[in-house]
Structure formats: structure tokens, C-alpha cells
Amino acid sequence: MKAFQDNYPDSLAHCYGCGANNPAGHHFRTFWEGDGTITRFTPQSQHTAIPGFVYGGLIASLIDCHSTGSASAAAAREQGVELTPETTPRFVTASLRVDYIRPTPMGKELVVRGVFEEVKEKKVVVVSEMTVDGELCATGRVVCVKLPENWGS
């Protein structure tokens, strides 16, 4: 199945977190799960904060990229637009809030599920929960805004 981020045009697919054109990046991939969205990622040893636990910046990046990808898909769905590199609206972060609920253990899959607080043509607000083995580790609220049509060209 194609991830939302796979539909970003090449000129806008360089993000360290989710860009397909960044060979050193994380390549986060986000999909529909019912009316919400889901991203799964398993951190590696370089993502360590202190031994045994994930670096908070990775968690913020995961929630951030999950949200901007979700915003693109939600805006397209709201407008009845199919996701393709030519039609996918590209959203970026205007505001990112992450609350760390408990330490996130290394070596386990991080699962981010998002729902939509607001979906408009140029602004989407995504609220997410990140879990590990069903335990809530972090929450996020991201305000995403649409890039202008001529951006990156």
C-alpha cells in the first residue's frame, strides 16, 4: 500500500523524517486507519536518549511527520482529490506540541495514531497518541498549514 508521503512531488520530498528523496532520513510512512491515520516506526540504537530509552527529538519528529502527512491526506479527501504526486496538497508544521507521558523504551515499535480536530483547505489540526505495546508514551497536537502552489518549483 502506498503511504501518504509517497505522493509528495519530488521537489517536496526531502524531509529528514518522511521524505522519500532523503537517503539518510527516517522514511516515516503514514496510512489511513478507518477515519484516522497510523504511522509505525522502530527506532534504532542511534535514537537513544539514555540507555534503554528513545530520544525525545525522534518522538517529536515522528509525531510531526505523521501529522503533516495526515493533513495532506485529510485535505485531499475533504476536497475529493485522489492522492498523486501531481494533486497531493503539501502541508508543513505551523505549531507542534508534544507531551511526553512516560519514557519510551528502545527496541520496540512506536505506533502513532492520529485523529482530526479540524480539516480546512489550508489548515488541518491533527491530534495524536504514540504508544508502545499499547502503553501511551506521548501525545501530540500539530497545526499544519498548506504550502502555496508555487512553493518548491
Q: What is the pLDDT along the chain (153 residues), one digit of tens a residue?
A: 899 999 998 988 999 999 999 999 999 999 999 999 999 999 999 999 999 999 999 999 999 999 999 999 999 999 999 999 999 999 999 999 999 999 999 999 999 999 999 999 999 999 999 999 999 999 999 999 999 877 655
Q: What is the CA angle 131-62-50, rounded to 5?
A: 75
Q: Look-up: residue for cell 504508544?
A: 131
Q: What is the pTM of this model?
A: 0.95
DSSP calls for 97-136: EEEE-SPPBTTS-EEEEEEEEEE-SSEEEEEEEEEETTEE
Q: With 0-12 CB in 10 A as exposed, 13-18 as middle and 19+ as buried, what is 147?
A: middle
C-alpha cell of residue 83:
492522492
